[in-house]
Structure 1
Amino acid sequence: MRRVILYEGFERFWHWSQALLIITMMLTGFEIRGMGLHLFGFQRAVSLHNILAVALVVLIVFAIFWHVTTGEWRQYIPTRKFLREMIAFYLTGIFKGAPHPVKKHRMAKLNPLQRLAYLGFKTLIIPVQVTTGALYYYYPNLQHALHWPASSLWLIAIVHVLSAFGLVAFLIGHAYLTTTGHTPLTNLKAMITGWEDLKDDAYLDEP
């Protein structure tokens, strides 16, 4: 085994900051929608939700820049290699103590299923959330300028909420997969400290 820095400092900062922003936005968003939460009060929830949305967009811009300049964007390129093996592992193998079918590399941190999940998160869920949120916020100006029908606001709100539930599903799945390392806390510790123990052949082999 070789102990290596798998997650860089900015990567960890971006990951936890994004998680905190998204979870808080979910709480404020559900309170705004009247879904049984009473944590901040309606007006404060609205203001906080809007502030967090701007902070998330700023963080996304910096994250995109970091991914492009470091080449880390390649981590999310989909692959069919070992895809069936990963599906079988998560469905049955993990409960039988089967070995993980995919080795983790410095330049291949995600298995095929994780790549697909993160790709959908980054290219579908987040863009839809940001776009519909912006449309909702600026709706009075846009309706006046573009003469949108009143029903368009309902459609924007529905898409925004449905996307939020997709985000909830992603976070639940992500939290579960975090516990599927060598121990239930291995992946969590790695994302906090940056260090992870990799087998020598996994470290040296090409991804």
Structure 2
Amino acid sequence: MPVRSVRIFNGFERFWHWTQAALIITLLFTGFRIHGFYNLITFDQAVTVHTLAALSLIVLWVFAIFWHVTTGTWRHYLPTTNGLWKVARFYAWGIFKGEQHPYRKHYWRKHNPLQALSYLGLKLVLFPTIWISGLAYLTYNYWQNGITSPVLGWVAIIHAGTAFAILAFIIIHLYLLTTGGSFTHHVMPMISGYDEVDLTETELAYLEQDEPQRLKG
């Protein structure tokens, strides 16, 4: 199959990715202050910034969900077992032996099977959990019967635990950006939108005919 430089990440997708990253880092930073890990800013400042960042992230997620559904981009996150073991073996073993990554990006499948599975878990499990627990904690005074102290404590534990899980995801994500190639090589597609993609003859013909602006060079 021909390999071409194709714009696989459009402007909104890149804006969503980097804005989401900035907001999540802000939430982690202020969240650690709220839990007393440091004293660089006041507690009230941390709560205010944390709340504003959380609400901004929720608005961003609403737009992102709408965009994923209307553009069909959600299909890139559908899990598949085809090639999953090969990719998992590569990250667990092959990467330390200098083996070549077993997955090549395709026009209709830009995430490898392990990425798709992990991103799906992030979007369907961790994000909704942090969203629901955060809103419950933020608005507990407005519930008709209120939230009792024991329940509120569990909400806080779930919220903090999920935040640490998201932090672990970010650390692993950053680590993998340093493997199997240069850091810049992995990051540039989310900056420029272009990446090297294996195209079938049909896909190449479609892009040349209907979306030539997606092809580079």
TM-score normalised by L of structure 2: 0.88
1:86 deviates by 0.8
CA distance in 2, matches of 1:80, 1:70: 24
The 8 Å contact of residues 178 and 187 in structure 1, kept in 2 or not, is answered as yes
Question: Residues 3-37 of structure 1: CA distance to partner in whole angstroms, max 9, x if unpaired?
Answer: 111211111000000000000000001100112x2
Give the share of equivalent positions with the same residue, in percent. Answer: 45
Residue 90 of structure 2 corresponds to residue 89 of structure 1: yes
CA distance in 2, matches of 1:118, 1:126: 10
1:181 deviates by 4.5
CA distance in 2, matches of 1:122, 1:17: 16
1:147 deviates by 4.9
Residue 59 of structure 2 corresponds to residue 63 of structure 1: no
Which of 21, 24, 34 aligns to 2:23? It is 21
CA change 1:206–1:48 in 2 (3 A) is farther
Higher relative contact order, structure no. (Cα contacts within 8 Å, ≥ 6 residues apart): 2
CA distance in 2, matches of 1:86, 1:3: 23
Residue 39 of structure 1 aligns to a residue whose secondary structure is: coil
Residue 6 of structure 2 aligns to a residue whose secondary structure is: strand
CA distance in 2, matches of 1:80, 1:58: 33
CA change 1:62–1:45 in 2 (3 A) is same
Q: Where do residues 94-133 of structure 1 align in structure 2 (5 Å cutoff)?
A: 94-133=95-134
Residue 199 of structure 2 corresponds to residue 203 of structure 1: yes
The 8 Å contact of residues 105 and 196 in structure 2, kept in 1 or not, is answered as no
Residue 101 of structure 1 aligns to a residue whose secondary structure is: coil
CA distance in 1, matches of 2:140, 2:106: 46
**2:14 corresponds to which residue?**
12
1:138 deviates by 0.8
**2:81 corresponds to which residue?**
80
Residue 185 of structure 1 aligns to a residue whose secondary structure is: helix
1:149 deviates by 2.8
CA distance in 2, matches of 1:11, 1:55: 16
| CA RMSD across the alignment | 1.6
CA distance in 2, matches of 1:53, 1:135: 13
CA distance in 2, matches of 1:172, 1:148: 34
1:205 deviates by 6.9
CA change 1:206–1:107 in 2 (3 A) is farther
Residue 86 of structure 2 aligns to a residue whose secondary structure is: helix
Supply the AA of the counterpart residue of 2:127. Answer: I
Moved over 3 A (4+): none
1:206 deviates by 8.6
Supply the AA of the counterpart residue of 1:84. Answer: W
CA distance in 2, matches of 1:40, 1:108: 43
TM-score normalised by L of structure 1: 0.92
CA change 1:194–1:73 in 2 (3 A) is same
Residue 198 of structure 2 corresponds to residue 166 of structure 1: no
Supply the AA of the counterpart residue of 1:21. Answer: L
Supply the AA of the counterpart residue of 1:124. Answer: V
The unaligned stretches of length 5 or more in structure 2 are: 204-217
